[in-house]
Amino acid sequence: MSIYTKKAIMDSFVKMLSQKSFDKITIKDIIEDCGLNRSTFYYYYEDIYALLEDVLQTELERITGKQVAYSSWQAGFLESAKFVLENKRAVYHIYNSIGREPLEKYLYQMTWDLMVGFVRQEAKGLEVSEEDINYIAAFYQFALSGFIFQWLQDGMKEDPNLAIQKLGDIFDGSIKNALLRCHGKQRN
């Protein structure tokens, strides 16, 4: 079996998600769409939940594999959230279904990877403990995750670029200031 077959299954699934709710998608729908048989699907996935987790994990690996230094957390977020922004309807269908937990894990991990990477980048040249870096990153991760979940809850109506710009105005300089306050402090 090839990686192309697995990608075809994943692509069909994401396409289906843009058309209907996660709860209404069947394995039969997916295999008919990509022209495969049921045994091929089960060769790769135990069930549709395993497929959902693999789609999200693959996207997370794409994001974290880039290891790009961003000029701002906003630029990093927009790149990291590309899958969500390009597949808004699909993400909305997942969010409003019983398959929500893998999406929540994906969003928490995506925001953590983004924020901890950006905080570490901002901490270069400063004597800041790993514990402080993690606390600062966690604070911004939860703020950003909470914002994303509220955006999902509200039906993703607000323009994400504008919303991220507004958050950027609020956060502007605060990550660096938090690091400077921790600079050189010894923790007991």
Q: Where are the alpha helices (DSSP H) in 96-129?
A: 100-123
Q: Report yes or no on 188 lying in a domain.
A: no
- Cα separation, 97 vs 7, whole angstroms: 23
C-beta atoms surrounding 132 within 10 Å:
20
- Cα separation, 40 vs 16, whole angstroms: 18
Q: Report yes or no on 27 lying in a domain.
A: no
pLDDT at 67: 57
Q: Report yes or no on 68 lying in a domain.
A: yes
Q: What is the pLDDT of residues 55-66, one digit of tens each?
A: 999 888 887 766
Residue 67 neighbours by CB under 8 Å, 6+ apart: none
Q: Report yes or no on 123 lying in a domain.
A: yes
- Cα separation, 31 vs 38, whole angstroms: 7
Provide the number of structural domains found in the chain.
Answer: 1
Residue 117 sits in which domain range?
52-182
Q: What is the pLDDT of residues 22-76, one digit of tens each?
A: 999 999 999 999 999 999 999 999 999 999 999 999 888 887 766 566 677 787 7
Residue 77 neighbours by CB under 8 Å, 6+ apart: 111, 114, 144, 164
Q: Report yes or no on 12 lying in a domain.
A: no
Q: Report yes or no on 30 lying in a domain.
A: no
pTM of the model: 0.82
Q: Report yes or no on 136 lying in a domain.
A: yes
